Amino acid sequence: MRGPALSTAARVLLSVLALTLVVLGLPQAVHAGASSPSGHSDRSADSADRGDDPSGEGVVSINVSGFSFEDLDPRTTPNLWVVMKNAQIGTITPRSVRSTSCPVDGWLGLGSGRRAADEPRDECRKPAPPMDGWVADWDVYAQVARSDNYDASLGALAEAVPDIRSFGAGAAIAAASPSGHVENWSPVGSDLGAQVAKSSAHDELTLVDLGNTAADGYSLKQLDRQVGDILESTGWMSDERQGRLGEGRTPMVFSSIADGAHEGSSMQATMMLRPGQPPGLLTSSSTRQPGLVQVPDLAPTLVELSGAEEMDNAAGAPMTSTSSGSDWKARYQAVLDRQVAVKTQSDLSTWFFPVVASLMVGLLASAWFLRKNHRQLVHSGAYRLGVVFAAMPISTYLVNTVPWERATNPDIAMLGALGGWALLLGALALLGPWRRHKFGPVLFVSVVTVGVLAYDVVTGSQLQMSTLLGEPLLIASRFYGIGNSALALYCCALLLAVAGFASLVAKPLHRILIVTLPVIVSCVLLAAPGLGTKFGSVPTLIIGVAYLVLAVASIRFSLKRLGLTVGIAGFVMLAVLFLDWLRPPEQRTHFGRFFDSIISGEALNVLARKIGMNIDILTQSWMTLVLPLIIVGVFWVALDPARFGLRGLQDAYRRIPLLRAAMISLAILLGVGTLINDSGIVVPAVGILFLVPVLTHLETFTAPLPPPTGGDDEPAHAAEDAAAADGSGTARTSQELSAAADESPADGTHR
What integer is the mean pLDDT of 546-567?
83
- Residue 26 has a pLDDT of 42
- Band (pLDDT 50/70/90 cuts) for residue 282 is very high
State yes or no: pLDDT of 393 exceeds 60. yes
Query: Could you tell me the domains of the chain?
Result: 2-30+345-702 (no CATH), 50-322 (3.40.720.10), 714-751 (no CATH)
Phi first, then psi: give them for residue 227, nearest 5 degrees. Answer: -65, -40
pLDDT digits (tens, 9 = 90+) for 353-371: 778 877 777 766 666 665 5
- Residue 376 has a pLDDT of 65
Contact 244, 212 (CB under 8 A): no
> How far is residue 670's CA from residue 232's CA, in Å, rounded to a whole number?
58
- Residue 176 has a pLDDT of 96
- Band (pLDDT 50/70/90 cuts) for residue 457 is very high
What integer is the mean pLDDT of 324-334?
85
State yes or no: pLDDT of 618 exceeds 60. no
Q: Give the range with max mean pLDDT: 30-39, 376-385, 670-679.
A: 670-679
What integer is the mean pLDDT of 709-713?
43
What integer is the mean pLDDT of 236-251?
79
Higher pLDDT, 500 or 534: 500
- Residue 623 has a pLDDT of 64
State yes or no: pLDDT of 441 exceeds 50. yes
- Residue 368 has a pLDDT of 64
Those residues with Cβ within 8 angstroms of residue 564's Cβ, 6 or more apart along the chain or in another chain: 9, 10, 13
State yes or no: pLDDT of 289 exceeds 90. yes
State yes or no: pLDDT of 708 exceeds 80. no
Phi first, then psi: give them for residue 322, nearest 5 degrees. Answer: -90, 130
Residue 549, H or E segment: helix 537-552
What integer is the mean pLDDT of 693-710?
66
Enter the pTM of the model: 0.80
- Residue 570 has a pLDDT of 75
Lowest-confidence range among 173-187, 510-524, 608-622, 669-683?
A: 608-622
Contact 76, 224 (CB under 8 A): yes
Nearest CA to 678 out of 751, 566, 577, 590 is that of 590
DSSP states of 566-623 as a string?
HHHHHHHHHHHHHHHHTS-GGG--HHHHHHHHHHHT-HHHHHHHHHHHHHHHHTSSHH
State yes or no: pLDDT of 329 exceeds 90. yes
Higher pLDDT, 562 or 296: 296
Based on its alpha-carbon atoms, the radius of gyration of the chain, rounded to whole angstroms, reads 29
Higher pLDDT, 290 or 3: 290
The contacts found for 49-53 with CB under 8 angstroms, 24 or more apart, are 49/320, 49/321, 50/274, 50/277, 50/304, 50/318, 50/320, 50/321, 51/274, 51/275, 51/276, 51/277, 53/250, 53/251, 53/274, 53/275, 53/305
Q: Give the range with max mean pLDDT: 265-274, 523-532, 688-697.
A: 265-274
- Residue 258 has a pLDDT of 97
- Residue 707 has a pLDDT of 47
- Residue 120 has a pLDDT of 93
- Residue 148 has a pLDDT of 81
Could you tell me which residues are beta bridge partners of residue 273?
252
What sign for the dihedral angle of Cα 721, 725, 727, 731? Answer: negative
- Residue 74 has a pLDDT of 94
Q: Are strands 268-273 and 88-93 parallel, antiparallel or unpaired?
A: antiparallel
State yes or no: pLDDT of 173 exceeds 60. yes
> How far is residue 544's CA from residue 488's CA, in Å, rounded to a whole number?
11
- Residue 124 has a pLDDT of 95
What integer is the mean pLDDT of 316-327?
83
- Residue 725 has a pLDDT of 33
- Residue 359 has a pLDDT of 77
Phi first, then psi: give them for residue 116, nearest 5 degrees. Answer: -150, 155
User: How many of the other CB atoms lie within 10 Å of CB of 11?
Assistant: 11
What integer is the mean pLDDT of 110-139?
94
- Residue 241 has a pLDDT of 67
What integer is the mean pLDDT of 395-404?
96
pLDDT digits (tens, 9 = 90+) for 7-40: 554 454 445 444 444 444 444 433 333 333 333 3
Lowest-confidence range among 12-21, 43-52, 223-232, 281-290?
A: 43-52
Q: Are strands 252-256 and 205-212 parallel, antiparallel or unpaired?
A: unpaired
- Residue 64 has a pLDDT of 98
- Band (pLDDT 50/70/90 cuts) for residue 587 is low
- Band (pLDDT 50/70/90 cuts) for residue 405 is very high
Per the document, the length of the chain is 751
State yes or no: pLDDT of 83 exceeds 50. yes
State yes or no: pLDDT of 174 exceeds 50. yes
- Residue 488 has a pLDDT of 92
- Band (pLDDT 50/70/90 cuts) for residue 590 is low
> What's the one-letter identity of residue 411?
D
∠ CA 413-417-421, nearest 5°, is: 170
Cα 244 to chain centroid distance, Å, stands at 39
Lowest-confidence range among 198-202, 310-314, 477-481, 625-629?
A: 625-629
pLDDT, mean over the chain: 81
- Residue 178 has a pLDDT of 95
State yes or no: pLDDT of 731 exceeds 90. no
State yes or no: pLDDT of 624 exceeds 90. no
Q: Give the range with max mean pLDDT: 296-305, 473-482, 606-615, 700-709.
A: 296-305
- Band (pLDDT 50/70/90 cuts) for residue 533 is confident
∠ CA 467-385-441, nearest 5°, is: 90
Work out the percent of the chain whose per-residue pLDDT is above 90. Answer: 48
State yes or no: pLDDT of 342 exceeds 90. yes
- Residue 603 has a pLDDT of 60
- Residue 660 has a pLDDT of 93
DSSP states of 309-340 as a string?
PPPSS-SS--EEEE-----HHHHHHHHHHHHH
